[in-house]
Amino acid sequence: MFSPRVLKSASSLMCRGFSTSQMCRQGKAPDMAEVRNRLREIVGASTNWKDHQQALAERASLSQYLAQSQDELPVKTMKDSAIEAHLPLGTQPALREKYLNYHNSVRFGRILEDLDSLAVLICYSHTWNKELKRSPLSIVTALVDKIDMRKNIIYPDCDIKFTGHVTWVGKTSIEAKMHMSQYHDGAYTDVLDATFVMVARDPENKRAAFINPLKLESPEEEAIFQQGEINKTRRVELSTASLLKVAPTAEERTLIHNLFLNTLDTRTVSFRSRILAPNSVWMEDAKMKGLEICHPQERNIFNRIFGGFLMRKAYELGWANACAFAGCRPTLVAVDDIVFRKPVEIGSLLLLSSQVCYTEGMHIQVRVHTEVLDPLTRQHSTTNVFHFTFHVEKDIPAVVPQSYGESMLYLDGKRHFDETMRSQG
């Protein structure tokens, strides 16, 4: 849910406090390159990897500007964070190569990168102190609550517009909603809505930091803020009911038991003898894996691996897995509940594992798990879990779990799929 009044103000407010930066080039909305340049200015990030240690040391000195309580900070409004940014695929042909896929459409993984950058800038716009040259806050992505697709086709040669603003604020966390539209046939049409939750940390990204409270100026903004409260409550409830913490419900246990009974060999009636029903695939055979070496080129403004890069790699692996499973090209329906558990350091070995965990009709639910491997200690640490819902133009095989662990993945996938279908009406 967006406030038309707030978003209408985005063009005039996008440069508030940023008048010396490239963001205000002749009153035009910034493009995504300018968004990232502005983030570097705000943080004081180094442009050369060899200088990153000096940049980190300089940021540490900004701790003196941190507020000791939220009450010390000035109140901000939704208009203060309202931003409009453009991706000029239609008017800048040289930019298209970076975004083009071999289906002559736009690489959605690149869009995820842009959304992540824009969400960070929206939150910095909310917390910006014009008296300081650099922000003492390290604002990082905590989770992607939801991305709902409104249109399946993204044209590679038509300009894209992003708008967004802060919709909810806690003491150290902040929710930003963004809307993406594309200019085609003489008008902008809706493409997607996205909700990101960010957290504020100290300059060295070691502990939580306070952010400005949000002032609500109309009943419409109060409703938007209340939806943010509802989102927070829902996330807590989902976390409390996680299958890693509590047993499945009675209905879910019955479902898993029926799946098990349907795979028993009636000739032997043995727990060890399992057979597949027609048009079914074992979950073990619906996997795909990948590896990334985390080079400095993919670092963010805090000299860790950019969250948008992680999302792009996870999405592309999940898409490839869904494509191989279905035997046809899938389209994205929704991205759901991406939690950033820990940062990924430069030089890490990033292991990605994609699993088709649930199918229904023409839909495929894919879970991508990412972890870092320390090659010296051989320790594995989970960094992210991604959930993607895809649609294809034909009925697809049912995916069937064999082990108890796979059964939990199956139920988790079904929960995310059902939530996506409910949210889309």
> What are phi and psi for residue 358, nearest 5 degrees?
-160, 145
For the segment 37-42, the average pLDDT, to the nearest whole number, is: 89
pLDDT above 90 (res 24): no
Question: Range with the lowest mean pLDDT among 21-35, 193-207, 223-237?
Answer: 21-35
Question: 264 or 95, which is more confident?
Answer: 95
Residue ranges of alpha helices (H) inside 44-162 are 52-60, 78-81, 93-99, 108-127
Token readout for 39 is 């983030």
Helix (H) or strand (E) holding 317: helix 307-326
C-alpha–C-alpha distance, residues 52 and 331, integer Å: 39
Render the burial of 260-281: b for 16+ CB within 10 Å, e for the rest: beebeeeeeeeeeeeeeeeeeb
For the segment 342-357, the average pLDDT, to the nearest whole number, is: 92
User: How much is the mean pLDDT over the chain?
Assistant: 88
Among the candidates 205, 239, 273, a domain finishes at 239
- Does one domain contain both 252 and 331? yes
Q: How wide is the angle at C-alpha 162 spanned by C-alphas 157 and 168, nearest 5°?
A: 160
Question: 225 or 11, which is more confident?
Answer: 225
- Does one domain contain both 205 and 260? no
- Does one domain contain both 195 and 333? no
* Residue whose C-alpha is closest to residue 34's, from 216, 203, 162, 173: 162
- Does one domain contain both 48 and 195? yes
For the segment 50-62, the average pLDDT, to the nearest whole number, is: 73
Going from the C-alpha of 237 to that of each of 92, 217, 230, 392, the distances in angstroms are 45, 29, 11, 31
Q: How many distinct structural domains can be found in the chain?
A: 2
Among the candidates 210, 239, 268, a domain finishes at 239
For the segment 113-135, the average pLDDT, to the nearest whole number, is: 94
C-alpha–C-alpha distance, residues 110 and 116, integer Å: 10
- Does one domain contain both 127 and 249? no
**Side chain identity at residue 140, one-letter code:** V
- Does one domain contain both 148 and 268? no
Token readout for 157 is 């040669």
* Residue whose C-alpha is closest to residue 336's, from 356, 306, 366: 366
Among the candidates 239, 255, 279, a domain finishes at 239
Model confidence pLDDT, tens digit, residues 317-327: 999 999 999 99
Pairing of strands 160-169, 83-87: antiparallel
* Residue whose C-alpha is closest to residue 303's, from 339, 344, 351: 344
**Side chain identity at residue 44, one-letter code:** G
Domain that residue 47 falls in = 4-239
Please report which confidence band the pLDDT of residue 15 belongs to, taking 50, 70 and 90 as the band edges.
very low
C-alpha–C-alpha distance, residues 244 and 241, integer Å: 8
Q: How many C-beta atoms lie closer than 10 Å to residue 363's C-beta?
A: 18
- Does one domain contain both 234 and 299? no
**In the chain, % of residues over pLDDT 70:** 89
- Does one domain contain both 170 and 88? yes
Model confidence pLDDT, tens digit, residues 299-337: 887 878 888 999 999 999 999 999 999 999 999 999 988
- Does one domain contain both 83 and 197? yes
